[in-house]
């Protein structure tokens, strides 16, 4: 077991949270104007990045608020959590930009901001 930092309540046990999928998915502006294939792509297709990944989480047994988190999917370590609507504290390689560089030292800085992100 490990702790997740809720941006509203602080560190809490993982059992209090629910996973909400990939963060920063933009809904089509005119869903009635897109094809069935495009709609299926929006609803079902998600990136499956190994490494730093932006996700949505809900503090279901606490404040019941949704927030975003940066989690390393290879180690299951939470690097940072942040309020929905804010930009991630780190550049994230997600959604087709697998080759984008992450600034050296940025992960450690975000972990410090988030309180260390415990495995």
CATH number at residue 67: 3.30.2270.10
For residue 2, the model assigns a pLDDT of: 87
Beta partners for residue 4, in sequence order = 12
Q: Are 58 and 20 in contact (CB under 8 A)?
A: yes
Per-residue pLDDT of the chain (119 residues; tens, 9 = 90+): 789 999 999 999 999 999 999 999 888 999 999 999 999 999 999 888 899 999 999 999 999 999 999 999 999 999 999 999 998 888 776 654 333 334 445 445 544 444 444 43
Phi, psi of 36 (to 5 degrees): -60, -40
Q: How many domains does the chain have?
A: 1
Q: Is residue 118 part of a domain?
A: no
Domain of 107?
Answer: 3-113
Q: Is residue 36 part of a domain?
A: yes
Q: Mind listing the pLDDT tens digit for each residue in 53-86?
A: 999 999 999 999 999 999 999 999 999 999 999 9
For residue 105, the model assigns a pLDDT of: 52
């Amino acid at each position: 077991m490990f702790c997740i930092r809720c941006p509203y309540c602080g560190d809490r046990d993982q059992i209090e949270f629910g996973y909400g999928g990939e963060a920063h998915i933009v809904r089509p502006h005119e869903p009635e104007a897109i094809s069935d294939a495009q709609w299926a792509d929006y609803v079902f297709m998600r990136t499956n990045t190994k490494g730093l990944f932006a996700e949505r989480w809900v503090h279901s047994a606490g404040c019941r608020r949704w927030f975003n988190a940066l989690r390393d999917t290879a180690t299951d370590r939470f690097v940072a959590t942040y309020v929905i609507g804010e930009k991630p504290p780190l550049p994230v390689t997600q959604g087709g930009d697998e080759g984008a560089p992450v600034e050296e030292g940025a992960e450690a800085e975000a972990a410090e901001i988030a309180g260390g992100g415990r495995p």
